Amino acid sequence: MAAVVVVGAAAFVWWTRPTAQPVAPAPSFSTAASAPADVGVALVVAVGGKVKTPGLVRLTPGSRVADAITAAGGVLPGTDLTGLNLARKVVDGELITVGAPAGGAAGGGGVAGGGGGVAGGGKVNLNLATLAQLDGLPGVGPVLAQRIIDWRDKRGGFRSVTDLRQVEGIGEAKFDDLKELVTV
């Protein structure tokens, strides 16, 4: 009788043991280049200035400034894109102004492009300036100039001159030296 109980208990343990179950593969996430236009729309960007259809455009994550301009119908003939970083990734809610005159876009905010980094009055526009133009500011070398550009690109541009305080390496004294020499 004890043998029957032992065999029964062994059979019970065998039948109730944990087993590996197959798991469905994790969903894959597509990039902006491979995603269909109607899937994964997560960014809304305002495109203005010298484009065929200014206004809001919807883009997939990872999209670039060039993608936003294409979504706005492309640039108008004769528009200078020299001051615009077409390869920069866009940020949700930003303003991209194409072909703006020197000094930035009317209405302020966002990243403007087209006119170079020196505004009227000789001030350096933080949203348009090149590495060389920022490096030319007193107390700003190539490393700090690159930090300013990286901060600008990561956050979609400077909203005000006081945003410059958020750049690593710019303390109160350096900000006081620069605030009258820069604009947005």
106-163: pLDDT as tens digits: 333 344 344 455 555 578 888 888 888 888 888 888 899 899 999 988 888 888 999 9
DSSP summary character for residue 74: -
Q: In this structure, are 93 and 121 located in the same domain? A: no
- The last residue of one of the domains, among 60, 84, 115, is 115
- Confidence at 74, pLDDT banded by 50, 70, 90: very high
CATH number for position 100: 3.10.20
β-bridge pairing 95-98 and 55-59: unpaired
Q: In this structure, are 72 and 126 located in the same domain? A: no
What per-residue confidence (pLDDT) applies to 40? 54
CA distances from 84 to 2, 108, 117, 173 (A): 86, 16, 10, 31
- Confidence at 72, pLDDT banded by 50, 70, 90: very high
5-63: pLDDT as tens digits: 777 777 776 667 665 555 555 554 444 444 444 455 588 888 888 889 888 899 999 99
Number of domains in the chain: 2
Q: In this structure, are 164 and 128 located in the same domain? A: yes
Per the CB < 8 A criterion, the answer to whether 49 and 37 are in contact is: no
Does a structural domain hold residue 74? Answer: yes
DSSP summary character for residue 110: S
Does a structural domain hold residue 31? Answer: no
β-bridge pairing 43-49 and 95-98: parallel
Domain that includes residue 138, residue range:
117-184
Does a structural domain hold residue 30? Answer: no
Q: In this structure, are 68 and 136 located in the same domain? A: no
Q: Say how far apart CA 119 and CA 160 lie, in whole Å.
A: 15
- 24 φ, ψ (degrees, to nearest 5): -65, 145
What per-residue confidence (pLDDT) applies to 15? 67
Q: In this structure, are 85 and 103 located in the same domain? A: yes
Q: In this structure, are 111 and 128 located in the same domain? A: no
- The last residue of one of the domains, among 96, 115, 134, is 115
Q: Say how far apart CA 162 and CA 96 lie, in whole Å.
A: 21
Q: In this structure, are 140 and 178 located in the same domain? A: yes
DSSP string, 32-45: TTTS-TTSS--EEE
Question: Which carries the bigger pLDDT value, residue 177 or residue 10?
Answer: 177
Q: In this structure, are 125 and 105 located in the same domain? A: no
- The last residue of one of the domains, among 76, 91, 115, is 115
- Residue 18, Cα to own-chain centre: how many angstroms? 48
Q: In this structure, are 95 and 139 located in the same domain? A: no
pTM value > 0.75: no
CATH number for position 145: 1.10.150.320
Q: In this structure, are 148 and 85 located in the same domain? A: no
Q: Is the pLDDT of residue 2 over 70?
A: yes
Per the CB < 8 A criterion, the answer to whether 166 and 127 are in contact is: no
What per-residue confidence (pLDDT) applies to 162? 92
Q: Is the pLDDT of residue 171 over 70?
A: yes
Q: In this structure, are 98 and 140 located in the same domain? A: no
Does a structural domain hold residue 150? Answer: yes
